[in-house]
Chains A and B, each alone.
Chain A
Amino acid sequence: MYDSNPVKRGRLGSSTRVAAALALAGLLGGCHPDQKLSASADRQKQLYAYCMQCHQADGSGSKLAGAPNIGGLDAAYVELQLTKWKDGVRGAHPDDAEGLRMRPMVRTLKGADEFKEVAAYVASLSTVYAAPALYGDQDNGAKLYQASCASCHGAEGLGNVAMGSPRLAGRNDWYIVTQLHKFRSGVRGSDPRDAQGAMMRPMAMALPDEQAIRDVAVYLSQLKPKEM
Chain B
Amino acid sequence: MAEHRPSPDSEGSGWQPLARSVFFTTTLGAIIVVSVVLFYIFSGGEDYIARLIPALSSYAGDIDHLILLIAALVGFWFFAALFAFFVLLFKYRARPGHKASYLATHEHQLETWIAWPHWLVIACDLVIIVVAVKVWHMVKQVAPPPDTTVRIIAQQWSWTFRHPGPDNKLDTADDIVTIDRLHVPVNKVVHFQLRSKDVLHDFAVPVFRLKQDAVPGRTITGWFKPTRAGAWDIQCAEICGIGHGLMPARLFVETPEQHAAFLDAGAKSAQLPGGQPIY
Contact = CB atoms under 8 A, between A and B. Distances in A.
Interface of A: 1, 53, 88, 92-95, 97, 100-101, 103-105, 107-108, 185-187, 190-192
Contacts of B186: none
A72 B250 CA distance: 36
Contact of B181 (A1, A101, A190): A1
17 contacts: A94-B153, A94-B160, A94-B179, A97-B155, A97-B156, A100-B155, A100-B156, A101-B156, A101-B157, A103-B158, A104-B158, A104-B246, A104-B247, A185-B274, A186-B273, A190-B273, A190-B276
Instruction: List the 4 closest pairs (A to B, CB-CB), nearest first.
Output: A186-B274, A104-B246, A100-B158, A104-B243
A108 B157 CA distance: 13
A100 B274 contact: no
Contacts of B222: none
Counting chain B CB atoms within 10 Å of each CB, the highest count among A92, A190, A191 belongs to: A92
A125 B272 CA distance: 38
Given A88-B179, A100-B179, A190-B272, A93 B277 contact: yes
Contacts of B247: 104
A53 B242 contact: yes
A187 B272 CA distance: 12
A132 B91 CA distance: 81
Contact of B246 (A92, A107, A187): A107
Interface of B: 153, 155-158, 160, 177, 179-181, 197, 242-243, 246-250, 272-277, 279
B277 A92 contact: yes
Nearest to B160: A94
Interface SS of chain B: helix, strand, loop or mixed?
Answer: loop
Contacts, number: 59
A190 B274 contact: yes
A92 B179 contact: yes
A88 B276 CA distance: 11
Given A100-B179, A101-B157, 10 more contacts: A1-B181, A88-B179, A88-B277, A88-B279, A92-B277, A93-B179, A101-B243, A104-B158, A185-B274, A191-B276
A93 B156 contact: no
A68 to B, nearest CB: 17
B202 to A, nearest CB: 16
Contacts of B156: 97, 100-101
Counting chain B CB atoms within 10 Å of each CB, the highest count among A97, A101, A186, A190 belongs to: A101
A104 B201 CA distance: 15
A26 B181 CA distance: 46
A105 B157 CA distance: 9
Contacts of B181: 1
Contacts of B248: 1
B265 to A, nearest CB: 14
Contact of B197 (A97, A104, A185): A97
Nearest to B177: A94
Counting chain B CB atoms within 10 Å of each CB, the highest count among A53, A95, A104, A107 belongs to: A104
A88 B274 CA distance: 15
Given A94-B177, A97-B197, A104 B275 contact: no
A93 B274 CA distance: 8
Nearest to B269: A192
B157 A104 contact: yes
Contacts of A107: 246
Contact of A105 (B197, B243, B272): B243
Contacts of B243: 101, 104-105
